[in-house]
Structures are given as structure tokens and as C-alpha cells.
Amino acid sequence: MSCPYANNNIQKQIPVQNINYTEGRNALDEIIGPDPDETPVVPRKSHTAKETLNYITYLGLDQLLSSLSCLSVSNESDGKPVHDEHFFIILHQAFELWFKQFIFEIDSIREVLIKTKYDETQNVLIISRLVRCVKIWQILIEQLHLLETTMTPLTFLSFRSYVTPASGFQSLQFRLIENKLGLTDKLRQEYKQTYFLNKVFTNGEQNDQLRKSIDEQSLLQLIEVMYV
């Protein structure tokens, strides 16, 4: 019995195909984009002027990456910020970006459950988005490990006074996630039931978002209705 992987056998089993390099080049252009000089100028909804659409403008990287601003001043004579504050800000900005995606996924699932009577054909869609939410949360946990294993409490204290009274408890998106999943104010300790509404998020728009998340049906409530 001859080896099925011998060169002569492979040639017999696998027909030689003519490769269309033009099609391959077109497919590659779809992935990495055509020549920048040939990229059409298109308007962005968030801009009044037209600009070339490319990787930087599509992702809004100029605005995103320039949003980082350190407040601390190190003890060194160069007057630069404490080194780890840059990392600390990046880490928490990444948290907020993932929170935004998490909310986007949860809202899309809630929308499916609210708009239509429960349909088992939607199970694959719902489960796939829930799996994504789980994976996102695993990334967030890994980010906490990154923080605790690469930055000591003493290092944090070297710039903590510069960012007081900012605190992770002031993350609006984290509170929205709690409410949208089903951890409402009614489930909190009595003295904390209105704490975030009346003490933390008093800004008009933030307060409105929080109130809306409290009043609307949570994912937990929608799932419970399915089994009633």
C-alpha cells in the first residue's frame, strides 16, 4: 500500500487549479484597502468638512488617542507625570470601551425579546451575543489581573492625590450594565437605593440615562417572562 501523502498521489487526488491573480488582488484590496491616493472622499456624519476615509478617520483615532491626559507630576526634576498614571488611564478607558460594547449587545438582545413573541429561531442569535458578553467580561477580568500584577499600591499612591475625588464608582456605564442585567436599586441596601441618582449622577443627561435604565425591563425580567 502506497503512502497517500506521497507526491505522486497528491497530484492525482488534487487537481491543479488555475489561480486568478486579479481576483486575489481585488480581494486583498477589500481587506487592506486600495491605494490611499485612490480612496474617495466621503463625508462623516460627525464632521462638517469632508475628509479621506481611512483607518485613522474611520476609527476616530485622533480624537480617541488624544483624550488621554495625565494630571500627576513625578518627583523627578523633569516634571513629567508619574509613569504608571498613563497605564492607569489607558486601562480604565479600555474598560469603558468594553462597557459600551457590552451594553450594545445586551440592548440588542433585549430588543429582540421585547419586539417579538419569544421565537426559538432567535436562540442562535441571542446565545451568540450572550457568549460575546461573557468573553468581554473575561477580558475585563484579565485587565484587572494586569493592573494588580504590574502596578503596586504604593505606585498608585504616588499619583492618587492628583485624581481625587475621581473613583470607579462614578462609572455611569457600569451602573447601566447593572440595571440592564437586573440588579436594580430595589435590590440594593435601603440606604443606597437612591445614592447613584441623587449623589453621583446628578448631571441631566447622565441622570436621565440612569433613570431610563431603572424604568425599562431588564434582561432578567424579560427572560423570566419567557418562562411564565
In tens, the pLDDT along 28-50 reads: 566 555 555 555 555 556 554 57
In this prediction, residue 17 carries a pLDDT of 55
- Average confidence (pLDDT) over 185-211: 74
**Alpha-carbon torsion 187, 189, 194, 195, what sign?**
negative
Nearest to 176, CA basis, from 106, 90, 110, 129: 106
Distance CA 220, CA 209 (A): 19
Distance CA 117, CA 222 (A): 11
What are the residues facing 42 on neighbouring strands? 51
122-170 confidence digits (pLDDT tens): 889 999 999 999 999 999 999 999 999 999 999 999 999 999 988 888 8
77-109 confidence digits (pLDDT tens): 678 999 999 999 999 999 999 999 999 999 999
Q: Which helix (H) or strand (E) holds 122?
A: none
Q: pLDDT grade, residue 18 (50/70/90)?
A: low
Residue written as grid cell 484590496: 29
Phi, psi of 134 (to 5 degrees): -65, -45
In this prediction, residue 93 carries a pLDDT of 97
In this prediction, residue 129 carries a pLDDT of 97
| Long-range Cβ contact pairs of 60-69 (< 8 A, separation 24 or more) | 67/93, 68/93
Secondary structure class of 41 (helix, strand, coil): strand
In this prediction, residue 213 carries a pLDDT of 87
Q: Which helix (H) or strand (E) holds 187?
A: none
Query: What ranges do the domains of the chain cover?
Result: 18-65, 85-163, 167-228
In this prediction, residue 55 carries a pLDDT of 96
